[in-house]
């Protein structure tokens, strides 16, 4: 399925690492997508180890890390693996946080803001539409700016919040990567599934090498799952590495 333009020789393939925390439940989904759909080397990384095993991309997956006790991501940020992930990201390494992973990245200080309880205080699980606000990231280079993707969500705490100064900075630097919209790409309150500030569904770091997103791209990466829009995130990552190694 991977675009042949981005095919990498065996010696130049990028290696992905998927972290497993106690309570992770989307780790195997991400591992499958990377290994069997994107055809890239992938390994699991244990939460209690500092060793990132030479990975080029780190995936912080969805689930309920440490049972989401205290609040989402509050305990996971103290795990040994996250200490290594911080250093990895500070050095320009690529890090993708999905759902609970986005929450953990915010708690760990790799991304600003916080994910709080959904408006309505209900768990929401359904496909949503998100508009690609920036293609100037390694995670969205295979997309078109303004393109509307259909990707599922499944969360109770997906309501992105930050202070006014942070929001202004995110807007100014075009670090809002995804926004919830309707099918036609229009931002409306009805298209916002969780009350997220400014309809934000995903943001990136100042260096654009860390991305957090609430939708689950691994759940819409094969036609058998009902859609393939999510695969564009993984295709973008492989493409970014192909260009780097060209």
Sign of CA dihedral 42, 111, 158, 132: negative
The mean pLDDT of the chain is 94
- For residues 173-200, average pLDDT: 98
- pLDDT for the residue numbered 245: 67
CATH number for 10-245 (one of 1.10.10.60, 3.40.50.10860, 3.40.50.880, 3.30.70.560): it is 3.40.50.880
Distance of CA 165 to the CA centre of its chain: 23
Are 72 and 106 in contact by the 8 Å Cβ rule? The answer is no
Tell me the C-alpha distance between 98 and 220, whole Å.
Answer: 13
Are 181 and 148 in contact by the 8 Å Cβ rule? The answer is yes
Q: Which of 107, 133, 157, 218 is catalytic?
A: 218
Tell me the C-alpha distance between 104 and 86, whole Å.
Answer: 12
- pLDDT for the residue numbered 38: 95
The answer on pLDDT for 9 being more than 80 is no
Tens digit of pLDDT for each residue in 193-236? 999 999 999 999 999 999 999 999 999 999 999 999 999 999 99
Q: Which of 55, 99, 106, 204 is catalytic?
A: 99
Q: Extract the tokens encoding 53.
A: 């095993």
Q: What predicted TM-score, i.e. pTM, was given to this entire model?
A: 0.94
Tell me the C-alpha distance between 221 and 39, whole Å.
Answer: 13
Contact residues for 13 (Cβ-Cβ < 8 A; gap 6+): 40, 41
Confidence of residue 12 (pLDDT cuts 50, 70, 90): low
Tens digit of pLDDT for each residue in 49-59? 999 999 999 99
- Exposure class string for 17-40: b at 16+ Cβ within 10 A, else e: bbbbbebbebbebbbbbbeebbeb
Tell me the C-alpha distance between 163 and 206, whole Å.
Answer: 17
The answer on pLDDT for 14 being more than 70 is yes
Tell me the C-alpha distance between 143 and 10, whole Å.
Answer: 25
Q: Extract the tokens encoding 217.
A: 């791209």
- pLDDT for the residue numbered 42: 97
Pairing of strands 124-132, 148-155: antiparallel
Distance of CA 198 to the CA centre of its chain: 18
Tens digit of pLDDT for each residue in 115-158? 999 999 999 999 999 999 999 999 999 999 999 999 999 999 99
Q: Which of 143, 157, 216, 235 is catalytic?
A: 216
Q: Is 145 a catalytic residue?
A: no
Q: What is the 3-state secondary structure (H, E, C) of 103-156?
A: HHHHHCCCCCCEEECCCCCCCEEEEEEEEECCCCCCCCCCCCCCCEEEEEEEEC
Domain boundaries, the chain: 10-245
Q: Is 99 a catalytic residue?
A: yes
- pLDDT for the residue numbered 70: 86
């Amino acid at each position: 399925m991977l675009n042949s333009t981005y095919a990498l020789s065996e010696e130049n393939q990028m290696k992905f690492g998927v972290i497993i925390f106690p309570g992770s439940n989307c780790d195997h989904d991400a591992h499958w997508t990377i290994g069997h759909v994107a055809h890239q080397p992938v390994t699991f990384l244990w939460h209690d180890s500092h060793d990132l095993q030479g990975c080029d991309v780190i995936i912080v997956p969805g689930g309920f890390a440490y049972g989401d006790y205290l609040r989402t991501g509050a305990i996971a940020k103290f795990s040994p693996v996250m200490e290594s992930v911080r250093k990895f990201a500070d050095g320009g390494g690529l890090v993708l946080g999905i759902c609970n992973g986005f929450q953990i990245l915010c708690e760990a200080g790799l991304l600003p803001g916080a994910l709080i309880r959904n408006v309505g205080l209900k768990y929401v699980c359904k496909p949503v539409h998100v508009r690609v606000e920036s293609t100037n990231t390694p995670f969205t280079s295979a997309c078109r700016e303004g393109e509307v993707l259909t990707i599922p969500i499944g969360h109770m705490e997906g309501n992105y919040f930050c202070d006014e100064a942070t929001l202004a900075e995110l807007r100014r630097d075009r670090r809002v990567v995804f926004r919830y919209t309707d099918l036609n790409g229009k931002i409306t309150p009805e298209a916002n599934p969780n009350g997220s500030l400014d309809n934000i569904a995903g943001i990136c770091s100042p260096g654009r090498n860390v991305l957090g997103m609430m939708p689950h791209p691994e759940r819409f990466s094969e036609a058998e799952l009902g859609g393939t829009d999510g695969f564009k995130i993984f295709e973008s990552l492989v493409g970014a590495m192909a260009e780097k190694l060209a």
